[in-house]
Structure 1
Amino acid sequence: MYWCHEKHGDYSVKSAYKLLQVQKSYWRRSDSNSLWSKIWRIKAPAKQKGVEVDPMCPVCKREPETIDHVFSHCSVAVQCWQMARNELVWNKKACRLYVIVDNAKQYLEQWRYAQRKVSYSMFPQSVEGDGEVSWVKPQESEIKVYVDAALFEEFNASGIGLVVRDSEGEMIMAKTICIKETLDPEMAEVIAIKEALSWTEKLPWQHITVESDCLLVVQSIRSKTPMLSLFGRMVKECRRLLQEQNTVSLSFIKRSANMVAHELARASYFFPDREFDRRSVPIEVDVALKADLC
């Protein structure tokens, strides 16, 4: 048995409380909802509403969480802007707006993960090669399989993009998978890695690195922590596939280093369950490939 409202399958008071709130919401009268909406819109300090809110920024915990701080002074915001500046100054690459936004989301995901009940201490520390910000070519005689997932809530679907690249940086092949269900983000990412590891079994190369930009999933797969949930079952399957392929490894990279797979995953709903060569990839993927090689 497992508790389906937590990734790790263990019961927690927090998830049970959330579930009760959702269930209660079905029994509230519309006039009651309207009353509470008006109460919460009152322009009063949070303490007067009965909720203690720390005015300090919850990310860096150094300064009050003002708009100026959030966008200009917070350490996470500064990292995003510095990365964009460094790419331009040192690598002569201008970061597109969506790359900066994706990096901000990545930093936010890591911060949220750090606040979760399942702490980093349960998982192995980062290994050499983790956390690349810019795309890096595979070594000679090695290939890399880049993995990403995307959600299409408006279509009730999820998509996966898998891209194989050689030591020259050229795309050898790629494929999309479309799932007719809106999955949880981490579930979509772990299924994407499982599909990549199943695919590598059939590839002719020996030394293969699978790279994903979802830190939570990569750390979960590396861990030996048992998980009884559906997410945990997928993690267990990924561990098994990695064990059976001793020349295949798994690495974590930042979103900015995974833009080709990211764009392919975003295109997977419109190009479902297809395989591509370099000449047939969607235009967005082609643009991302060229940007990596500049």
Structure 2
Amino acid sequence: MQHVCLVHDLIDEANRTWKSELLRQIFHAEDATAVLAIPLSLFPMSDQLRWGGTRNGGLATGVNLVKRNVQVDPICARCGKDRETVDHILLDCDFARATCWGRSIKRSLKVLQLPYTNWQLWIARNELIFNGTVSSPMEVNRKAEVQFGAFEQAQRKSKTPSGGPANSLSSNRIVSWAPPTMGTTLLNTDAAFKDGKRGLGYVLRSYIGLPLTTTSELAHFSSVLQGECLAIRSGLLQCIAECLECLMVESDSLEAIKLITTKETPPDIQPIISNIKFLITH
């Protein structure tokens, strides 16, 4: 069996695909399937630390990692006293207690702020383990308060009326589709995830609506949103192959379109969005 040390050893660089047979030799079937569902960037990228959430909401604590047969020390790296469970990190550890309750009366912890405090406790834990960065309870509190303050401000803005009579009728306006301008090619994309089967497709049409190219294919992706983004990327690659420059892209996923126009992107979709932005601008 091939010697594997790093993630790039599992990637076929020539085709920018996972080495599926090698993955199945090394990992359990469930884990291999999960890895194959991770989309790869079209272009080589520098390694980045990504620590996404699990489907059941569990955190990759020392105890949970040991349960997954990962060779780590399950004892809390900060206090060295007890096993690192979710409750220990967020409630029982001396550091967590100092963070949540080591406040003056004037700066008492707001209940609504607890999720932000918990999130910052988790980030501080990761910074300690992966980067050796030691944070103080005061620093964790400050970061949580900044995040919670931004949330409160956004909530106030969302409740502020933003117009007169015209706005009250906006939800009743009929929005009709309009064809692209002369010389523009229309790209329609879509993805499907049903009964364990996943697929994506796209259609290229002329500005008068005549289909030019249609494609549908099976694909690996872990969510419909991820599939929608992959469909857009595949369609853009086809447009480049056909030397189409003036293009209009339509997708039934508003969330996918928003991700392309914003800076913050979920870790599992970030490589795809980066590729889409690159293809659009080049």
User: Shared fold by TM > 0.5?
Assistant: no
Higher radius of gyration, 1 or 2? 2
Q: TM-score, normalised by structure 2?
A: 0.39
Query: Greater RCO between the two (CA within 8 Å, min separation 6)?
Result: 1
